[in-house]
Amino acid sequence: MPKTKYYSGKNPHEGHRERMKNQFLEHGIEHLAPHQVLELVLFFAIPRVDTNLMAHELLSRFGSLAGVFNAGVRELCEVPGIGMNAATLLKLIPEVHKMYSYSMYENIPLSDVDTIFDFVISLYHGVPVESVTAICLDGSMRILSNTIISKGNSCYVELDRSSLLARLSNSGCQSCIIAHNHPGTSAKPSSHDKLSTYSLKTVFDELSINLYEHVIVGDDGVYAIMHDRFRRVRGF
C-alpha cells in the first residue's frame, strides 16, 4: 500500500495557519472541528507543512481526540508525517491539562461532594484504563498530594494497598479521597467496590486518617460511595 505523501515545500494553503490561529483566538476551541484542533496543535511541531491530512489520518486511526492524545508515542510515530516532536507535543497536552486542573483546586477545600466530583472528573476525563488515585488532604480538606496508586487495564484494576499505605505514612494526610474509574461502563459501584471501601476505612481508621470518600468515574457520570450520591455527566 503506497504511503501518503505530504507536501513539504511552500504551503499550498497560504494564510491558512494564520486564519486558524485567529479563529481560535477570537472564537475559542468550541468553533473548531476535531481535525482542526489537531491541525492547530501540529502547526507548532511541524513547520511549513500542510497538516490537514495528518490530522484526518490521526482521527481515522485512533477514533477520536481522546484516542489520539492517549495513544503511545510509538503508535503516533507510525502515522506518516508524525515525528518525535509532534508525538511529544500530542502527549504533552493531556498532561498539561491535568496539571492545570490540579492547580485550579490547590487552595479549594474538597469538603463537599460536588467539588470532589468536579475535581475527580478533571483527573479521569479521557483516561482509557482503570486506575486508583489517592487524594491526600490536610486538616482544612485542601489537597496535599494526588497520586496514582495502581494501574490496570480497560476493565480491571487491583488496589495496591502496600503502595497506598507507604504513600500515606508520614504524609501529614488527615483525610483521604480514593478515586477510580470504570472505562466504558457505568459508575455504579460493584459489590467488590463497596466491600473494598469499608475494608479500607478500617485500615484508615487504624492510621487515624479519615477516609472521606471513594469516588467512581464511569461513562455515565460519577458516584460517591460514602455519601451515596450520583451525578450524571452527559458524554463523559
- What pLDDT is attached to residue 184? 87
Angle at the Cα of 101 (from 158 to 32), degrees rounded to 5? 110
Same domain, 93 and 119: no
Please determine, for residue 10, whether its predicted confidence score (pLDDT) is greater than 70. Answer: no
| Among the listed residues 149, 156, 157, the one whose alpha carbon sits nearest the alpha carbon of residue 176 | 149
Name all contacts of 27-30 with Cβ < 8 Å and 24+ positions apart: none
Percent of the chain with pLDDT over 90: 59
* Number of domains the chain is built from: 2
Asked whether residue 113 carries a pLDDT value surpassing 60, the answer given is yes
Give me the CATH number covering residue 188.
Answer: 3.40.140.10
Q: Same domain for 81 and 131?
A: no
End of a domain among 81, 99, 117?
99
Domain co-membership, 123 together with 25: no
Statement to judge: residues 66 and 127 lie in one domain: no
pLDDT at 7 over 50: no
Q: Which domain holds residue 187?
A: 109-232
- How far apart, in whole angstroms, are the C-alpha atoms of residue 204 and residue 137? 13
Residue 54 above 60 pLDDT?
yes
Q: What digits encode the pLDDT tens for the residues 147-206?
A: 888 887 655 556 767 778 777 877 889 999 999 999 889 999 999 899 989 988 988 898
Q: 176: closest CA among 212, 148, 151? A: 212
Cα 173 to chain centroid, rounded: 24
Q: Are 86 and 42 in contact (CB under 8 A)?
A: yes
CA 54 to chain CA mean position, Å: 23
Q: For residue 143, list its beta bridge partners.
A: 137
For the entire predicted model, the pTM comes to: 0.76
Domain-terminating residue out of 75, 99, 123? 99
